[in-house]
Structure 1
Amino acid sequence: MAGRDKQLERIKQQPANVRFATLDRLLQRYGFTVRQPRSGSSHYTYKRGRFTLTIPKHDPLREVYARKALKMIDEVRREEEA
């Protein structure tokens, strides 16, 4: 199992206890590009094709952001397999 898959499984098991850096690294490993915030904002935007997700930089992240990221990653994986 690849490193990104192991990290994905850990997040699926505990979506309420995810650090920003962990989710950031995972999204980038799945090909998402990141746009860092400008002056005073803490929100990072991740894009890949038709998928867009904005996440505030907080530790730990709220569970809703982890779940949204997991859903997008699952859709990306399905597209890669097709």
Structure 2
Amino acid sequence: MSKWDKLITRICNLSKDLRFDELRKVLESCGYEMNAPRSGSSHYTFRKQGCAPITIPKHEPIKKVYVEMVRQIVESEAENDEDAE
């Protein structure tokens, strides 16, 4: 199993030890663009045209609620890939 597959599996299992950079990598692979926070905030916003923006604080470890948001995106992207085939 590749590192990418392991990362996706950890997200789908709502792992508690995920890092911000891992979630960023997954969101950017799904077409989201990261916008850096302003004035010292730790909350990063990810945007994709046609989708609601997602805001994730850069704290370790990432809270389960944010991992759940990314899991929903991963699952919807997988469904879209299946529909395209």
Q: TM-score, normalised by structure 2?
A: 0.79
**Unaligned runs of at least 5 residues, structure 1:** none
CA separation of 1:30 and 1:46: change in aligned 2, threshold 3 A: same
Taking the TM superposition and a 5 Å limit, the aligned residue runs for 1:47-62 are 47-48=47-48, 49-62=50-63
RMSD: 1.8
TM-score of the two chains, using structure 1 as the length reference: 0.82
Q: Which residue of 2 aligns with 1:17?
A: 17
Go from structure 1 to structure 2 and tell me whether the alpha carbon gap of 1:75 and 1:14 turns closer, same or farther (over 3 Å shift): closer
Counterparts of 1:10-49 in structure 2 under 5 Å? 10-48=10-48, 49=50
Q: Equivalent pairs: percent with the same residue?
A: 35
User: In structure 2, do the counterparts of structure 1 residues 51 and 4 end up closer, same or farther at CA, with 3 Å as the change threshold?
Assistant: farther
Report if the CA contact (8 A) 1:33-1:47 is conserved. Answer: yes
**Match for 2:63: what amino acid?**
R
More strand by share: 1
Count of equivalent residues: 82
Match of 1:75 in 2: 76
1:50 to partner: Cα distance? 1.5
Question: Whose radius of gyration is greater, 1 or 2?
Answer: 2
